[in-house]
Structure 1
């Protein structure tokens, strides 16, 4: 079940990420901020789920992630950057890369049964 939830989040990101990119293309950072914050939280959920944990409110996600076995490369640093500046285009690029990398890794982990 948790894989399905993570998979659903990946699907939702693919459907909505173009809309966020459109906001940035139009230099509308204000409109981009809310969906960026939402997908930042959704991405955190996928990390918890892939690691077999239920996401709590994830307010202390940095210390939680330190204990997880499976993470994207430099996850805490990259997520901190996005969290601090969700309305910046570079944060969108970073979140896009994280979603892409993490989806690939989660598929591999699922196949291994890890």
Structure 2
């Protein structure tokens, strides 16, 4: 298991990361609502943002590995992320990515209390 880096999951760091997602989420939601084809590109940007946080919050400099377990990821997080990456233009993938962000934020809070 790749453990979380305590300083990288501080409340301030997580809040800053999540604020960027909230901005992205509004744009993605609006694109889905208006059936805009740009939703795929917006989702791909959000996926990169999510992956960068997981990598930065973990005690590793390597790119995310599907075969690894990351302490900051929620239950089945890697499988769910792979699902999102397969079809980023789908509404179900947007909802799943939103849940991953929310659950990861909560998991970071739990890890801060634990460590």
Q: TM (normalized to structure 1)?
A: 0.80
Off by >4 Å, runs of 4+ in structure 1: none
Residue of structure 1 aligned with 2:103, choices 95, 101, 104: 101
Superposition CA RMSD, Å: 1.9
Q: How many residue pairs end up in the alignment?
A: 107
Instruction: Tell which has more relative contact order, 1 or 2 (C-alpha 8 A, sep 6+).
Output: 2
Distance 1:49 1:7, change over 3 A: farther
Q: Unpaired segments of 5 or more residues in structure 1?
A: none
Paired residues for 1:1-114 under 5 Å:
1-3=7-9, 4-28=12-36, 30-54=37-61, 56=62, 58=63, 61-63=65-67, 66-113=68-115
Counterpart-to-counterpart distance in 1, 2:114 and 2:21: 24
Structure 1 or 2: more helix by fraction: 1
Q: Unpaired segments of 5 or more residues in structure 2?
A: 1-6
